[in-house]
Amino acid sequence: MNFREEHDTMGIVKVPADKYWGAQTQRSFENFKIGTEKMPEEIVRAFAVLKKAAAQTNAEIGVLSKEKADAIASVCDEILWGKTGMEHFPLAVWQTGSGTQSNMNVNEVIARRGTEIAGIKLHPNDDVNKSQSSNDTFPSAMHIAAVIELEERLLPSLDALFAEFERLSVEYKDIIKVGRTHLQDATPLTLGQEISAFAAMLKECRKMIKASEEGLLALALGGTAVGTGLNAPAGFAQGAAAKIAEITGYEFRTADNKFYALTSKDAVVFSHGALKALAADLMKIANDVRWLASGPRCGIGEIFIPANEPGSSIMPGKINPTQCEALTMVSVQVLGNDAAIGAAAAQGNFQLNVFMPVIIYNYLQSVRLLADAMESFRINCASGIKPNIEKINENLEKSLMLVTALNPHIGYEKAAEVAKKAYGENITLREAVISLGYMTGEDFDLAVNPEQMV
Q: Which residues are known to be catalytic?
A: 182, 312
DSSP character at residue 182: T
Q: What is the DSSP string of 401-421?
A: GGGGGGHHHH-HHHHHHHHHH
CA torsion, ordered 275, 278, 283, 287, to nearest 10 deg = -170
Contact of 280 with 338, CB cutoff 8 Å: no
What residue type is 119 in one-letter code?
A: G
CA pair distance 102, 83, nearest whole angstrom: 19
CA pair distance 136, 227, nearest whole angstrom: 8
Q: What is the DSSP string of 158-179?
A: HHHHHHHHHHHHHHTTT-EEEE
CA pair distance 356, 64, nearest whole angstrom: 29
HSE value, Cβ hemisphere, 13 Å, CA-based, for 296: 12
CA 299 to chain centre: 32
Contact of 158 with 278, CB cutoff 8 Å: yes
CA pair distance 351, 227, nearest whole angstrom: 8
What 3-state DSSP class applies to 185? strand
What 3-state DSSP class applies to 321? coil
What residue type is 190 in one-letter code?
A: T
Phi, psi angles (nearest 5°) of residue 92: -75, 155
The number of residues making up the chain comes to 454
Residue from 145, 135, 155, 370 nearest 250 by CA? 145
Helices (H) and strands (E) in the chain, counts: 17, 8
HSE value, Cβ hemisphere, 13 Å, CA-based, for 429: 22
